[in-house]
Structure 1
Amino acid sequence: MVQRIDKELLRKRAEHNDGELSSLKEVTLHQYDIEKIENLDVYCRHLEILFLQNNQISKIENLHKLKELKYLQLALNNVSKIENLEGCEALEKLDLTVNFVEDPLDVECLKGNEMLRELFLVGNPCTQKEGYREFVITTLPQLKNLDGRDITRSERIEAAQVYENVRKRFIREREERTGTVYEAKVEAEPAPQKANDHESSKAQYNENSTNSSDSLNEGRNPTPASGDIDELEEKRWRFQNEPVPHTPSARLEAARDLASMREGKNNQNPPTKQQQSPTPLFAPDGRVLQKNQGKWPFHFAITTDTITLHVELSKFVDTSLIDVDVQPTWLRISVKGKILQLVLDEEVQTENVLCERSRVTGWLAVTMVKAHVDKTKADVIEIRNKERRIKEDEERQKRALQRKQETSAERKKNYRTSFTPTESVDLRNIVADAQTPTASAKASIFDRTFSIMPPVVPDDFEDDPSVPPLC
């Protein structure tokens, strides 16, 4: 079956863009045996990067509306002519490695792509012609890199000097090749005697294989018996023993043969899936069997009015894949086909159940109201909130009592209140770790001694009575 570029395939390859095609910037369509470029100009007008390598594409087409396309990857295809890229105004990189481009004059259609900076034609017949690089460098002055090699200024000057002669030679070769190419295409078309030719060549091969020496048959598989050959085996024999020419039509035919061989093999040997017997959920006598197929950790929290089951599910499991079924004496939780089934110690109300899930951890909590609770008294949410308030009050009182006990223990540690009769008590230091500074400590702060020396009076000093004292 030939793979086409349709909306379904594009949405499948656009998972990184949430399947949105109108804003898709990059898509990878390699190794799908695609034979034609289509529908990209309809669904993906804003493509910037397009990977189409290793397919069976024989013609560049339907890309003229991709005005934002910057990188086109067409390596390992059957492209024989560079064409229909004039509308790709933003094209910066074109990769046609290992294709069948034979005429170097085809690059002249890329003159209008002014943003083109890199071109790869390695592995094409045109690269084997003398003067190919000089011709491409001069024809496309906007290029900076050709076949992975940077283009230098001196190389451009040398290429411009031989450009005219090289171009005339390429034009002459094209004119000479026009007739031969047409004849080659006629000969390459499948003739009605193709099957007979194949039978004769196979018979000749069998005759040569029996009469020739063993050295000629080395490395080849023996021809299967004619009575045992079916269509699939015949294709496999041809693929393994007959040489395949390196042409676009031969490559396309080989790809189709491989695809049909794979399909035939799958049809002959369909994968047999062992049908597992359904897991029993109840015993023959009607008892409910407890199961934990997902091996999830769980625990119960039981109060006077409710029973809460906590299941440690992964936070990456979507909530839509979880199903909860609560019965009076048991409950069942199904997660992606795996079942957790548990029997309850007390009977619960099936219509008064609350299921909650943590956004942080993903854990599941199923709160069930016991059967003895009055249904008209309150629903499960009010009962749950009331129990939470009671629990918070208990924890608050517990913490207050714990702080009080710690404070009392600390006081007993710091203050000595009892002494033995024979022990001498120092009343001055009865409080060992006093927090307030003592009088001696306060005094020590200001208890400082200063040494004040009288000023030295020179011998020639004269006391002037008109000068008032300084203090």
Structure 2
Amino acid sequence: MPQQIDEQLLRKRAEHNDGDLSTLREVTLHQFDIERIENLDKYCRNLEILYLQCNQISRIENLGKLKRLQYLQLSLNNITTIENLEGCESLEKLDLTVNFVGDPLCVESLKGNIHLRELFLVGNPCTDVPGYREFVITTLPQLRLLDSKEIEKSERILAAQEYPAIREALLKRRAEKLTAKDAISAASSTSEAAASPTEESEHYLSRNAKATPKASTEDNTQESKQIDSPAQAPEPVDAPGTLANSAPPEPASDDLERRRLDFQNKPVPHTPEARLAAARDLAALRESAPKNGADFADPTKRKKERILFAPDGRVLQKNEGKYLFKWHSTPSTLVLTVEISKFLDTSLIDVDVHPTWIRVTIKAKILQLVMEEEVQTTNVACERSKLTGQLAVTMVKASVVGDVHEIRSRERLLAEQQAAKAAEAAEANAKAARPRGARTNPLSRSSLRQTLEPSGDSKGRLDYKNIFREQATHKTAPDSRLLMPGALAQSKIVDAPIIAADIAPDETFRDNPDVPPLC
């Protein structure tokens, strides 16, 4: 069964939005083999970015109600025409790289998308039509970028001059193509005209000698004749019907292997129908592969069996996610810290504690470690840091009695007390290491500078010759204006008796007669 866009798939792809679809802005649905666009206008009307590349979508539909859609990615699909995008009023970028759009005239359906700035049609048959770029540039004047190439003003002017002739030629080409198609339909039988992709799939897988439906172009007809030639036709498959829509008998493993080799080595017509048929049959082969013990998707991606225990029962240590971890042991607890991304949801983490070993499963990747001491499996605390995302698993040792939370609180208090004692000891050591001869000058430089502000003399000058003598023989009267920054404070010098302690020189002071006086 092909994958459908349903509520379950959308909620699964909306994990980054906590599964909320009503406020979903971006969704990625690539490589799901989706064949039809549906239910997006029902569940996700506020979408702004939609990724649908690498699927089997054949039509652009059910997107008219996505008024906020700005970027639509539909590369590597089976789309043959551009349609049903008039309702996407906010569309700015459309990517249809490697599809089957063959008529450049279908670009005219984008005239109403006035906000469209970028259009990608590389790998479509329409890009090989003469005058394709000039026609698109003139038809969509709002474009700024076409096929990853910026549109210049001079190019737009020249394209507008050639536009009438190019459009007339494209209309004539469309009429001729429709006439040829009607002629082929009239000449072919009803069964051949109504052949489904499933029948082409049956022919591709079984290589029966029956005649294949006629293709719509001469190239596809020639490829079909080459496949039907007796030299290339393998032995027919015994089981009738197709793998996609019917339930044939379970084939043998060697038959499935031969079909897988056919998919890889035999040529396939490059048409939307053949591509859809191949995708359906590959999906059927993947579903049948586990029953027969074969992997048809990619043999190199077979999952290896996890070996978590040795044959003798020993627990093996594993770190599949290459996570950084650290052990921290205290007298009562054993703590394991694991560095995990803070953007990883906690629901994807599982912790399993055993007496002598622990297993942490992080997004299906196992971190299994053996502990040196036995712990209590029922007395464990698991926490994550909101800032860094680090996981901390605190386990109480088997010989300790008490709850893990009480033990952690007691250890935290003890650690704080030890840190305070260490700070006091460091301060005492710093005081003890201070030189004995060092003394603290009671008159700091800042106070000296404030004290020596211009005094109240008429000239407002200082006698710098007697600074030391004046400070030694006089005291300054307290003045509140000295404490006001920016104020023109004036200090008053008051006579005071000379105190021996004030004029006593420093013990380390030595008078040197060779030093000239300041004057």
Specify the TM-score bucket, using the shorter chain as the normaliser: 0.5 to 0.7
Q: Which residue of 2 aligns with 1:265?
A: 289
Distance 1:90 1:24 in 2: 16
Q: Which residue of 2 aligns with 1:250?
A: 274
Distance 1:151 1:344 in 2: 72
Distance 2:426 2:261 in 1: 87
Correspondences of 1:428-467 after superposition (within 5 Å): 433=437, 435=439, 438=506, 441=509, 449=517
Correspondences of 1:50-61 after superposition (within 5 Å): 50-61=50-61
Q: Which residue of 2 aligns with 1:42?
A: 42
**1:441 is paired with a residue of what secondary structure?**
coil
| Residues 182 and 34 (structure 1), Cα distance of their counterparts in 2 relative to 1, 3 Å cut | farther
Q: Which residue of 2 aligns with 1:363?
A: 392
Moved more, 393-402 or 20-29: 393-402
| Residues 117 and 333 (structure 1), Cα distance of their counterparts in 2 relative to 1, 3 Å cut | closer
Deviation, structure 1 residue 27: 2.2
Deviation, structure 1 residue 112: 0.6
Q: In the alignment, is the contact (CA less than 8 A) between 2:308 and 2:316 conserved in 1?
A: no
Q: Which residue of 2 aligns with 1:198?
A: 208
Correspondences of 1:71-470 after superposition (within 5 Å): 71-182=71-182, 187-190=192-195, 198-200=208-210, 208-209=230-231, 223=234, 232=256, 235-236=259-260, 239=263, 243-269=267-293, 301-302=330-331, 308-316=332-340, 318=346, 321-322=350-351, 335-336=360-361, 355=381, 357=383, 359=385, 362-367=391-396, 410=433, 433=437, 435=439, 438=506, 441=509, 449=517
Alignment-mate amino acid for residue 208 of structure 2: H
Distance 1:402 1:199 in 2: 95
Deviation, structure 1 residue 110: 0.9
Alignment-mate amino acid for residue 365 of structure 1: T
Q: In the alignment, is the contact (CA less than 8 A) between 2:138 and 2:156 conserved in 1?
A: yes
Deviation, structure 1 residue 270: 5.9
Q: In the alignment, is the contact (CA less than 8 A) between 1:24 and 1:46 conserved in 2?
A: yes
Please tell me whether residue 12 in structure 1 is matched to residue 12 in structure 2.
yes
**1:311 is paired with a residue of what secondary structure?**
strand
Distance 2:137 2:508 in 1: 98
Q: In the alignment, is the contact (CA less than 8 A) between 2:80 and 2:100 conserved in 1?
A: yes
Deviation, structure 1 residue 68: 1.3
Q: In the alignment, is the contact (CA less than 8 A) between 1:100 and 1:125 conserved in 2?
A: yes
Unmatched segments (≥5 aa) in structure 1: 210-219, 284-288, 303-307, 416-432, 452-471
Alignment-mate amino acid for residue 351 of structure 2: I
1:341-398 C-alpha deviation (Å, 9 max, x unpaired)? 78769xx9x99x6747574764333457979x9x9xxx88678766766776577567
Q: Which residue of 2 aligns with 1:464?
A: none
Q: Which residue of 2 aligns with 1:305?
A: none
Per the normalisation by structure 2, the TM-score is: 0.60
Deviation, structure 1 residue 78: 1.0
Q: Which residue of 2 aligns with 1:428?
A: none
Distance 1:197 1:9 in 2: 36
Q: In the alignment, is the contact (CA less than 8 A) between 1:70 and 1:93 conserved in 2?
A: yes
Number of matched pairs: 394
**1:80 is paired with a residue of what secondary structure?**
coil
Distance 1:277 1:242 in 2: 40
Alignment-mate amino acid for residue 268 of structure 1: N
**2:163 is paired with a residue of what secondary structure?**
helix
Identity %: 45
| Residues 163 and 435 (structure 1), Cα distance of their counterparts in 2 relative to 1, 3 Å cut | closer
**2:105 is paired with a residue of what secondary structure?**
helix
Distance 2:338 2:168 in 1: 71
Q: In the alignment, is the contact (CA less than 8 A) between 1:369 and 1:380 conserved in 2?
A: no
**1:313 is paired with a residue of what secondary structure?**
strand
Distance 2:305 2:132 in 1: 63
**2:155 is paired with a residue of what secondary structure?**
helix
Deviation, structure 1 residue 2: 0.8
Q: Which residue of 1 aligns with 2:489?
A: none
Unmatched segments (≥5 aa) in structure 2: 213-225, 240-250, 296-301, 320-324, 441-504
Distance 2:426 2:140 in 1: 85
1:394-448 C-alpha deviation (Å, 9 max, x unpaired)? 775676567667766x58xx67xxxxxxxxxxxxxxxxx4547527839779x96
1:277-322 C-alpha deviation (Å, 9 max, x unpaired)? 9979xx9xxxxx99785798656644xxxxx222223153959733
1:147-199 C-alpha deviation (Å, 9 max, x unpaired)? 23322333333322332233233223323332433565764532889869823
Q: In the alignment, is the contact (CA less than 8 A) between 1:30 and 1:53 conserved in 2?
A: yes
Deviation, structure 1 residue 269: 0.8
Q: In the alignment, is the contact (CA less than 8 A) between 2:382 and 2:391 conserved in 1?
A: no
Deviation, structure 1 residue 29: 1.9
Q: In the alignment, is the contact (CA less than 8 A) between 2:327 and 2:337 conserved in 1?
A: no
Q: In the alignment, is the contact (CA less than 8 A) between 1:120 and 1:147 conserved in 2?
A: yes
| Residues 438 and 292 (structure 1), Cα distance of their counterparts in 2 relative to 1, 3 Å cut | farther
Deviation, structure 1 residue 141: 1.6
1:257-284 C-alpha deviation (Å, 9 max, x unpaired)? 222233333331168999889979xx9x
Structure number, greater radius of gyration: 1
Alignment-mate amino acid for residue 89 of structure 2: E
Alignment-mate amino acid for residue 209 of structure 2: E
Alignment-mate amino acid for residue 161 of structure 2: Q
| Residues 100 and 391 (structure 1), Cα distance of their counterparts in 2 relative to 1, 3 Å cut | closer
Distance 2:334 2:93 in 1: 57
Distance 1:83 1:188 in 2: 25
Alignment-mate amino acid for residue 7 of structure 1: E
**2:208 is paired with a residue of what secondary structure?**
helix
Alignment-mate amino acid for residue 363 of structure 1: A
